């Protein structure tokens, strides 16, 4: 066994690798120990995934999807209560639904309570954060792309050698692991809202936090397509250009490779229904 990133011998590595971080809901797509060595696993965790997950944008996405962290704590976002001019923390209530709102800082708690009791109405402003920096997000998608490829091929004899010795993957490998080489652009677009509800016959509606697929175009380009909180990110695994994906979308009515038959329209009130893709 050799690490799919640094190519070093990794049979003694002990760390499992979550393709999508466990802290944002991934419990199923996990690579066995050795596919990614302990050193690379630690690097991605501290230098790529944590900085990305700590951005206001990712915290906001987890808040909207009501994803608790590994300790079971609900996500929260910060806002401003206009009447008291105090910063507040807003998180999903763990009992009975709705939201729980409190002063962000403990020393403001009494002032916050007095302001709430003194007025029947008030205004709360929660800013919508911008997406993370393009370079950090791009490296994350590149890392996920190579791990998803390994996940898909693991049942094929000789898969590890095929990936580690594939020189065409080396530029993407170096970019994900060390940030070296040119910037790899992403094709980014929204394909459904973060709270979009999928339904199957006789099943309860459910949300999809992440999913992925691969697209091999007639021009012999391999694209990895990732949906995260309804945002679609596509990266070219063969080189740092994305124009071919735009051409493929134009030729296929802008339908995502994840949903070639399209999604049903979202109903009034924020709910909706759709046909989920096959398990990936």
Domain ranges, ordered by start, for the chain: 72-125
Separation between Cα atoms, residue 58 and residue 206, nearest integer Å? 20
Contact 11, 1 (CB under 8 A): yes
* Predicted confidence (pLDDT) per residue in 38-68, tens digit: 999 999 999 999 999 989 888 888 888 778 7
Separation between Cα atoms, residue 50 and residue 44, nearest integer Å? 8
Which residues touch 176 (CB under 8 Å, ≥6 apart)?
A: 5, 48, 139, 142, 143, 145, 146
Q: What is the pLDDT of residue 149?
A: 97
Average pLDDT on 261-275 reads 44
Question: How far apart, in Å, are the Cα atoms of 124 and each of 66, 80, 216?
Answer: 20, 6, 47
Average pLDDT on 190-213 reads 83
* Predicted confidence (pLDDT) per residue in 149-193, tens digit: 999 999 999 999 999 999 999 999 999 999 989 999 999 999 988
Question: How far apart, in Å, are the Cα atoms of 29 and each of 20, 24, 150, 226?
Answer: 7, 12, 11, 13
Question: How far apart, in Å, are the Cα atoms of 247 and each of 178, 210, 234, 255?
Answer: 30, 24, 13, 12
Instruction: Please say if the pLDDT value at position 225 is more than 90.
Output: yes
Q: What is the pTM of this model?
A: 0.85
Question: How far apart, in Å, are the Cα atoms of 32 and each of 11, 216, 225?
Answer: 11, 26, 23
Q: What is the pLDDT of residue 269?
A: 30
Average pLDDT on 89-95 reads 80
Q: Could you give the angle at the alpha carbon of 208 between the alpha carbons of 223 and 136, nearest 5°?
A: 50
Residue % of the chain over a pLDDT of 70: 92
Q: What is the pLDDT of residue 100?
A: 86
Average pLDDT on 104-125 reads 91
């Amino acid at each position: 066994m050799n690490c799919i990133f640094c190519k070093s011998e990794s049979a003694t590595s002990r760390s499992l690798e979550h393709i999508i971080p466990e802290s944002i809901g991934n419990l199923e797509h996990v690579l066995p120990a050795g596919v990614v060595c302990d050193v690379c696993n630690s690097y991605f965790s501290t230098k790529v995934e944590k900085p990305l997950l700590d951005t206001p944008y990712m915290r906001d996405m987890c808040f909207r999807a009501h994803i608790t962290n590994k300790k079971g704590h609900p996500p929260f976002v910060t806002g401003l209560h206009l009447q008291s001019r105090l910063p507040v923390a807003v998180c999903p209530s763990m009992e009975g639904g709705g939201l729980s709102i409190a002063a962000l800082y403990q020393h403001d708690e009494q002032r916050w309570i007095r302001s709430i009791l003194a007025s029947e109405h008030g205004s709360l402003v929660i800013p919508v954060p911008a997406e993370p920096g393009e370079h950090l997000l791009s490296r994350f998608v590149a890392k996920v792309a190579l791990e998803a490829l390994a996940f898909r091929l693991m049942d094929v004899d000789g898969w590890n050698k095929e990936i580690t010795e594939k020189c065409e993957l080396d530029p993407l490998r170096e970019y994900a692991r060390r940030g070296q080489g040119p910037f790899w652009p992403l094709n980014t677009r929204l394909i459904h809202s973060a709270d979009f509800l999928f339904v199957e016959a006789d099943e309860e509606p459910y949300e999809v936090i992440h999913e992925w697929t691969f697209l091999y175009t007639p021009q012999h380009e391999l694209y990895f397509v990732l949906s995260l909180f309804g945002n679609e990110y596509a990266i070219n695994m063969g080189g740092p250009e994305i124009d071919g994906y735009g051409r493929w979308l134009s030729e296929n009515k802008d339908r995502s490779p994840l949903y070639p038959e399209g999604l049903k329209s979202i109903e009034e009130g924020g709910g909706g229904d759709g046909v989920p893709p096959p398990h990936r």
